[in-house]
Amino acid sequence: MFWDQKIETIERTALEALQLMRLQATVSRVACKVPRYQQKLADCGTKPSDIRSLADVQRLPFTSNSDLRDAYPAGLLAIAPDEVLRLHTSSGTTGKPKALFFSANDVNNAAELVARCLVMTGVTRRDVLQNMMTYGLFTGALVMHYGAEKVGCLVIPAGPGNSEKQLLLMQDFRTTIVHVTPSYALYLADFMEKKGVDPRKDLALRKAFVGAEPYTEETRRKIEEALGIDVYNSYGMSEMNGPGVAFECEHKCGMHLWEDNYLLEIVDPQTGKPLPDGQTGELVLTTLCREAMPLLRYRTRDITSIIPGPCPCGRTHRRLHRITGRTDDMLIVRGVNIYPQQIERVLMSLPSVGRNYQIVLEGLDEMTINVELAEAGFDGHVEHLTRLQSEITDRLRAEILTKPKVHLVPPGTLPVSEGKAKRVIDSRSL
């Protein structure tokens, strides 16, 4: 089944011609509207008229995470402020988020891409989609929501957590699809088992769209077996609209990336040089249709490769291998991006906290922060410790938007490593 068969199965030569036209328009647009890009283009000596073939993309400057942070709030905006229809943000390392703007066409286009993804897995207007991603400033929930509405599904804006209520909604409204993080999908499966609910018999669930954080093929199978459903890998990021960038089709053999909207490169993360199809490197994307905030050669920091060859479904847009890791230290916990530096900043601002700390991730996305007390941090009063512990928890929650467990330990008891500190212990079973 296709949402937009013509574009989804477009011949490669026609697709590449379309890409080139859109790339040229995008470069001209930022060169004329965005002073930051004017500067960056000047720095690498490239003019819009230099882009004569797709290979010329390499003459364009990269855009990094820090470009977006430095441009906060509106330094990368390419349309008049009153033409902006929606704002989303994504967390950054310095407490300043990254601002992402959408025009009316951008909002519509993002929903179109999600609609393609959903229909590609067999979704129809008869489906009921329970959206368990976080609503609010994040793109994850809203962009999926609009896409599923475009297909005509009944969309339940459940948000994450509160498993009791999730289950009730699933039972009462005969939910057929859930949009969920891998960790929460596994948690839900456990929860149902404890409640004596057999999803195969008691629910109408058929599919899950699982993404927002890395997970393995084993985790996919585990979720599929536990819930008796098909799991489709869903990849996206706020900088590129959120969900709907790349998605698996019915064959579940890699994620088709919508190349009419995104120009795709895989580069060597160290040198930035392009790698051929099949080789593993960092995914770099250029938006081809964005109006409000076009991005040139955005370094996603996600490690993947292009799966060579055609897909049996007939779509001509190339497929990405499951994301195997990241080039930076961003952690994704319960679908939320967290940089260890955010945690460090909060801890180190408190005089009662010592020098060392450790972030432990285990089980199904449980986060514990072990915090050493300062030498003078403990005066023998247990109630002071309890107060400090809840103060740290509250401050961390305000910073990273998820509540960790905080464990206070005496000074000098956490391991000290030689060289680069190993602050994060990630033994999650995802």
Choose from Zn ion, ligand AMP, none: what does 260 bind? Cβ within 5-8 Å by kind. none
Dist. CA 150–CA 147, nearest whole Å: 5
x-or-dash string of contact with Zn ion, 239-278, rule CB under 5 A: ----------x-----------------------------
Residue with tokens 């060289």: 419
Looking at the Cβ atoms of 214 and 377, the one nearer to ligand AMP is 214
Q: Output the smallest distance, CB 90 to ligand AMP, in A.
A: 4
Choose from Zn ion, ligand AMP, none: what does 313 bind? Cβ within 5-8 Å by kind. Zn ion
CA distances from 116 to 35, 98, 308, 317, 382 (A): 34, 27, 21, 12, 57
Choose from ligand AMP, Zn ion, none: what does 364 bind? Cβ within 5-8 Å by kind. none
Q: Output the smallest distance, CB 236 to ligand AMP, in A.
A: 6
- By the criterion CB under 6 A, which residues form the site for ligand AMP? 90, 139-140, 211-214, 233-238, 242, 300, 302, 323, 326, 332, 337
DSSP class of residue 274 equals: B
Choose from Zn ion, ligand AMP, none: what does 249 bind? Cβ within 5-8 Å by kind. Zn ion
User: By CB under 5 A, how many residues form the interface with Zn ion?
Assistant: 4
DSSP class of residue 371 equals: E
Looking at the Cβ atoms of 312 and 415, the one nearer to Zn ion is 312
Is 361 a binding residue for Zn ion by CB under 5 A? The answer is no
CA distances from 417 to 18, 413, 414, 421 (A): 52, 12, 10, 6
Looking at the Cβ atoms of 34 and 68, the one nearer to ligand AMP is 68
- Contact (CB, 8 A) for 390 and 346: no
Looking at the Cβ atoms of 90 and 356, the one nearer to ligand AMP is 90
Is 210 a binding residue for Zn ion by CB under 5 A? The answer is no
Choose from ligand AMP, Zn ion, none: what does 311 bind? Cβ within 5-8 Å by kind. Zn ion
Q: At what angle do helices 382-400 and 340-348 cross, to 10 degrees?
A: 140
Dist. CA 289–CA 197, nearest whole Å: 45
Choose from Zn ion, ligand AMP, none: what does 235 bind? Cβ within 5-8 Å by kind. ligand AMP
Is 284 a binding residue for Zn ion by CB under 5 A? The answer is no
Q: Output the smallest distance, CB 403 to ligand AMP, in A.
A: 18
Q: Output the smallest distance, CB 308 to ligand AMP, in A.
A: 20
Looking at the Cβ atoms of 35 and 278, the one nearer to Zn ion is 278
113-151: b (≥16 Cβ within 10 Å) or e: bbbbbbbbbebeeebbbbbbbbeebbbbbbbbbbbbbbb
Residue 333 backbone phi and psi in degrees, to 5:
-120, 125
Residue with tokens 């509405």: 149
CA distances from 16 to 12, 23, 255, 288, 325 (A): 6, 10, 19, 12, 29
Is the C-alpha dihedral spanning 173, 174, 179, 184 positive or negative? Answer: positive
Choose from Zn ion, ligand AMP, none: what does 214 bind? Cβ within 5-8 Å by kind. ligand AMP
What residue ranges in 184-254 does DSSP mark as E strands? 207-211, 230-237, 242-248
The continuous run of DSSP H or E covering 106 comes out as: helix 104-120
Is 313 a binding residue for Zn ion by CB under 5 A? The answer is yes
Looking at the Cβ atoms of 97 and 377, the one nearer to ligand AMP is 97
Looking at the Cβ atoms of 103 and 337, the one nearer to ligand AMP is 337
Choose from ligand AMP, Zn ion, none: what does 304 bind? Cβ within 5-8 Å by kind. none
Instruction: Give the interface with Zn ion as residue ranges (CB under 5 A).
Output: 249, 311, 313, 315
